[in-house]
Amino acid sequence: MSKLTHLDEEGSAHMVDVSAKATTARKAVASGRISMSAEAAAAIAQGLVKKGDVLAVARVAGIMAAKRTSDLIPLCHPIALSSVSVDLDLDGTGVSVTATAKTAGQTGVEMEALTAASVALLTVYDMAKALDKGMIISNVRLLAKSGGKSGDWTAREDGAV
């Protein structure tokens, strides 16, 4: 197992010094899903949710969350994101989200992509909870990352680690 970079020699948490790392193009893609009743999915599809356009608000919430990741995750570096996209796919049983974050920098954007996906899903829950309090958020995970010293990585399709 490789050394945990957020722990110093004494085992104390610290922010990693990235000043010596090369600036490279970096990208991360994360996904997740919220499952719900057919009735709730239909209401979202038909624009009948009283709070408004669920997918549009969730998209904006995910983008905003990616930009605020370092405010939420204590040891994350503030990153100048060059692009964040949040794609939502509604079907008869829920919403799947795919979030992509990009930068040219000294550290990766995995946490930004994961945060965008998570907050988009939480926003769907918030906006539709009056229709289905039993919705289930699941399978939030990193799908792929590129750039940096460790290079490219892609999740296994079967979801195993």
Among all residues, which ones are annotated catalytic? 126
Residue with tokens 């100048």: 80
CA distances from 92 to 23, 36, 39, 95 (A): 43, 9, 8, 9
Residues forming beta bridges with residue 25, ordered by sequence position: 104
Give the torsion through C-alpha atoms of 47, 49, 53, 55, to 10 deg.
Answer: -100
Closest CA to 122 of 107, 143, 138, 146: 138
- C-beta separation of 137 from 125 below 8 A: yes
Q: Dig out the tokens for 78 from the structure.
A: 């503030």
Burial of 152 (C-beta count, 10 Å sphere; 0-12/13-18/19+):
exposed
